[in-house]
Amino acid sequence: MLDKTYRNEIRRRFLTEALPEPLTRASSHIQIFDNYIAGTRMRIRSLRDPATKVWTWSLEHRLHTDIPGITKVGELHLSEPEHTVFEHLEGNEIRKNRYFHEFDHHAFSFDLHLGPLWGLNIANVEFADEESLRAYEPPPFAVYEITADPFFYGENLVGKSFEDVRAEVSRIAESGFLAEFPDE
């Protein structure tokens, strides 16, 4: 049943120190405001294009699967009046700027978090299938792979600070497990 109404998001995620060249914070990007609805697996996503000042909204239901990197996503696009109905549920917000860049024939998105998570930079690369997901070699700008680490799921980052992120990265480094992509 879920396959009829949900799409598979197939991606790997990596911590990065900064945007890779030639990107800079002044490069073209979109602004993302993810509001996680407490006690649910849902979020209200508001996107703003700073160049055009155009807003778009969606209500998303995200289900993490047993396969790291594959998430089932149901998405309902909202009009401005529909978004207004859901606005009172907002408050558990994560803000980030998303940049896009192709590297080694793969389209990447780079999320630079704002507010309390300032300093958290995540590179995302999407794939068409699980085989491509597993075969991909991490890019040289990746510091750690976080695909299989639930700490870095958006809903788990709500209420955290960059110091919490630093503590988690230190914990990973001290354990000797540098978050490689799990084998089958």
User: Taking 90 as the threshold, does the pLDDT of residue 174 lie above it?
Assistant: no
CATH number at residue 53: 2.40.320.10
Residue 184 falls inside a structural domain: no
73, part of any domain: yes
Containing structural domain, residue 66: 2-175
* Residue 22 covered by a domain: yes
Domain count, the chain: 1
Question: Is the predicted pLDDT of residue 142 greater than 70, yes or no?
Answer: yes
Examine residue 183 and state whether it is found in any structural domain, yes or no. Answer: no
Residue 65 falls within a domain, yes or no? yes
Q: What is the DSSP string of 106-154?
A: EEEEEEEE-GGGTT-EEEEEE-SSHHHHHHPPPPTTEEEE-TT-GGGSH
The predicted-structure confidence for 16-57, as pLDDT tens digits, reads as follows 999 999 999 999 999 999 999 988 899 999 999 999 999 999
Mean pLDDT on 59-76: 94
Q: What are 135's two structure tokens? A: 């075969």
Would you say residue 91 has pLDDT above 90?
A: no
Binning pLDDT at 50, 70 and 90, where does residue 2 land? very low
- Name the burial class of residue 117, with classes exposed (0-12), middle (13-18) and buried (19+) by CB atoms within 10 angstroms of its CB: buried
Give the predicted TM-score (pTM) of the model: 0.90
- The Cα 15–Cα 121 span in angstroms is 6
Is 51 a member of any domain? yes
Note whether residue 63 is domain-resident.
Answer: yes
Does 181 map to a domain? no
Q: Chain-wide mean pLDDT for the chain? A: 91
The per-residue pLDDT for 89 is: 87
